[in-house]
Amino acid sequence: MSVWSRIIELAQRAFDPEADPPAFGEECAPAANDVGFTAAVIGLAAKMAKADGHSTDEEMAAAARIFRPPPGEETNFRRAFNLANETVHGFESYAKQIGRKYRARPCLLEDVLDGLFHIAAADGRVGEGEIAYLSVVAGHFGFSDLEFRRIKAANLGPDADDPYAVLGLMPGAGMDEVRAAWRKLAAENHPDRMSERGAPAAFVDIAREKTAAINAAYQAIRAELKEVV
């Protein structure tokens, strides 16, 4: 029985915020048959898609690209997504469970946030409700406001006057600090590193886009600081 079939079999428990918390595996990258982690992340994705008041087919398709249901399980995936999508209530229980379990694995937590941003943007816009939802999820994952600004800017693009956010810095940071932050983030988000971790192709594409945003922010700050000097 596949993970998707098992999710449907246990659906009332898996997506009931009042039910017992799902059990998680011990690995940073959960096994393909880890129903608890899969259900929790799909719950976050589906409820995020509903955060702006309605969910779209584009968002479901984006979720399918991220989670990659196996051949023959697409229908079960859609049923699981739709079941979790019925309401945004209860999403914080999923975020808290994942955050508590993987607080020491920020790479995994950021991957989950990247996937959620990708789904949120699938219908062509990311609304205020979705941003607020993602901010709450990031908080339960243990990310600071500044770290969330960086992740948000890397996925959606920085504000015209805020390239520092992409590097997780405050405006006014010195060039040495900027360079150190750029090198760290460029290494962590490099597409080759993501491929080596065995991430799905969609995440490698996201990493490529994030790396471009990180490099663009670094160049913008360099140009700004040269003008000041």
Which tops the pLDDT comparison, 110 or 13? 110
Domains contained in the chain, number: 2
Residues 6+ apart with CB under 8 A from 192: none
Same domain? For 117 and 229 the reply is no
Is the pLDDT at 38 greater than 80? The verdict is no
Same domain? For 2 and 115 the reply is yes
Helix, strand, or coil here: 20?
A: coil
For residue 111 the two structure tokens come to 């991957």
> Does residue 130 lie in a domain region?
no
> Does residue 134 lie in a domain region?
no
> Does residue 223 lie in a domain region?
yes
Cβ neighbours of 220 (radius 10 Å): 17
Give the least confident one: 35-39, 71-75, 89-93.
Answer: 35-39
> Does residue 99 lie in a domain region?
yes
Same domain? For 64 and 152 the reply is no
Same domain? For 229 and 148 the reply is yes
Quick check: 204 and 196 in contact, CB under 8 A? Answer: no
How many whole angstroms separate alpha carbon 82 and alpha carbon 207?
28
Q: Which of 91, 125, 159 is the last residue of a domain?
A: 125
Same domain? For 116 and 7 the reply is yes
Same domain? For 2 and 103 the reply is yes
CA angle at 42 for the pair 38 and 60, rounded to the nearest 5° = 135
Helix segments in the chain, DSSP class H: 3-9, 11-14, 35-49, 57-67, 74-84, 91-102, 106-120, 128-141, 145-156, 163-166, 175-188, 191-196, 201-228
Query: For residue 88, which phi and psi values (nearest 5 degrees)?
Result: -85, -10
What share of the chain has pLDDT > 70, as a percent? 80
How many whole angstroms separate alpha carbon 109 and alpha carbon 141?
7
> Does residue 180 lie in a domain region?
yes
Determine the average pLDDT of the residues in 164-183.
89
For residue 30 the two structure tokens come to 């959960």
Model pTM score = 0.68
27-31, 42-46, 194-198: which is most confident: 42-46
Q: Which of 125, 158, 193 is the last residue of a domain?
A: 125
Instruction: Supply the range of the domain harboring residue 176.
Output: 144-229
> Does residue 133 lie in a domain region?
no
Crossing angle of helices 201-228 and 145-156, in 10° steps, is: 110
Same domain? For 112 and 188 the reply is no
Q: Residue 161 maps to which CATH number?
A: 1.10.287
For residues 107-123, one letter each, b for 16 or more C-beta atoms within 10 angstroms of the residue's C-beta and e for the rest, the string is: ebbbbbbbbbbbbbbbb
Is the pLDDT at 18 greater than 60? The verdict is no
pLDDT of residue 22: 44
Same domain? For 18 and 103 the reply is yes
For residues 161-185, one letter each, b for 16 or more C-beta atoms within 10 angstroms of the residue's C-beta and e for the rest, the string is: eebbbbbbbeeebeeeebeebbeeb
> Does residue 83 lie in a domain region?
yes
pLDDT of residue 215: 94
For residue 131 the two structure tokens come to 């941003």
> Does residue 136 lie in a domain region?
no
Same domain? For 90 and 191 the reply is no
Same domain? For 69 and 118 the reply is yes
Q: Which of 125, 160, 181 is the last residue of a domain?
A: 125
